[in-house]
Structure 1
Amino acid sequence: MGVDMGQTSGEMGISIAASSMFPGFKFSPTDEELVSYYLKKKLEGSDKCVEVISEVEICKYEPWDLAGKAVIESPNEWFFFSPRGRKYPNGSQSRRATASGYWKATGKERNVKSGSNLIGRKRTLVFHTGRAPKGERTEWIMHEYCMSGNSQVTYQY
């Protein structure tokens, strides 16, 4: 069950409560909804409309410590906003290292579209313990969403 994008911020508060009150309720936005509604609203400063997704600096935490930082509880899927950190001040590489490992991009970046319009991009990352190139792959997977031309990203674990 997804969230109806026509809801007002007051109705969104009901959805947050619903996740803990109704068995089977699941926050499950599509890629298009994550970019065109949640990420767009966050970038516009409409924090009240997107309070179902908390803001967390992803690389300050290990993946197993993030579950408790999510607004909506789930046994295996969490959503976060995070500013994209840069590895080097003037470079284009993203900072994806944590204290005990790193997030490694896998596969190619995919387009997120609304109809025929390109609205953002999605990339899949896998967490590795240790340091590259000898890190060990884990089962932790993250999907990174970014809106075209912006540095704020949304993560889905």
Structure 2
Amino acid sequence: MSMAVNTIPGFYFTPTDEDLITFYLKPKAMRQPLPWDGILEKNLYGDNATPWVILTENDWEISRQTARAYEDSVSKDEMYVFTKLKKIGTVRFGRVAGSGKWNDNQPFKYIKNRQGEIIGIKKIFTFKVKGEKGHEKMDHMEKGHWIMHQYTLAGVSLVQEVKDSDYAICRIIRDLSKCRTNVAESSEGQSRLDIDLNN
């Protein structure tokens, strides 16, 4: 059974980067009330955190109630999720997520407030299946292309006492149109599956 989130007619959750840090991530880290209850909380990192396993179709259904409308493709969805980072040592964070890993493919970006002060950091990741073979490759083919925008606190956001500074807020984008399957016959007459995951 799906869970409804509190919305008003015509409301769509389209926050700016500054909004995410100021009104959602920082209050979450300080254990303060949030202005809206539609952001899920999930463990996006760890041995059991394959994205299409922990983000269920029910979760996507909930998100679609307020998600941004993509006019270019009915197969593209987005979702906002709170998660806790997995530390490795004192300065590094683990990016393993079940059958794969979130790979960062762009330089990070500082998020600033209207006064020009740094309040957070934005990083962009793409999910990559480990090994890309066997049933894991099939799963990746069927589940599409996954991108994550991860926001963490930085700068003046950490001046006040923050109880849970390891929290992040992530915008997850699932694009099923980025997955294409071609079936061909091999020279031995057996079926061969060629998988093309477009970037």
Bucket of the pairwise TM-score, normalised by the shorter protein = 0.7 to 0.9
Residue 63 of structure 1 corresponds to 51
Structure whose alpha-carbon radius of gyration is higher = 2
Shift of 1:50: 4.6
The answer on whether the counterparts of 1:54 and 1:71 sit within 8 Å (CA) in structure 2 is no
The answer on whether the counterparts of 2:24 and 2:34 sit within 8 Å (CA) in structure 1 is no
SS of corresponding position for 2:83: strand
- Equivalent residues in 2 for 1:114-125, closer than 5 Å: 114-115=113-114, 116-125=116-125
- Equivalent residues in 2 for 1:40-119, closer than 5 Å: 40-59=26-45, 60-65=48-53, 66-67=55-56, 68-69=58-59, 72-74=62-64, 76-86=77-87, 88=88, 90-115=89-114, 116-119=116-119
Residue 10 of structure 1 corresponds to none
TM value normalised by structure 2? 0.59
Instruction: State how many pairs are aligned.
Output: 135
Residue 140 of structure 1 corresponds to 146
Residue 19 of structure 2 corresponds to 33
**Change over 3 Å in CA distance of 1:131–1:37 after alignment to 2:** farther
**Change over 3 Å in CA distance of 1:146–1:48 after alignment to 2:** closer
SS of corresponding position for 1:27: coil
Structure 2 spans left out of the alignment, 5+ residues: 65-75, 159-164, 173-199
TM value normalised by structure 1? 0.73
Q: Does 1:127 align with 2:133?
A: no
SS of corresponding position for 1:17: coil
Residue 7 of structure 2 corresponds to 17
Which piece of structure 1 moves more, 95-104 or 31-40? 95-104
Q: Percent identity?
A: 25
Task: Kindly indicate which of the two structures has a greater share of residues assigned to helix.
Answer: 1
Report Cα offsets for 1:64-101 as digits up to 9, x if no partner: 23153469422611111111111x3x242211112211
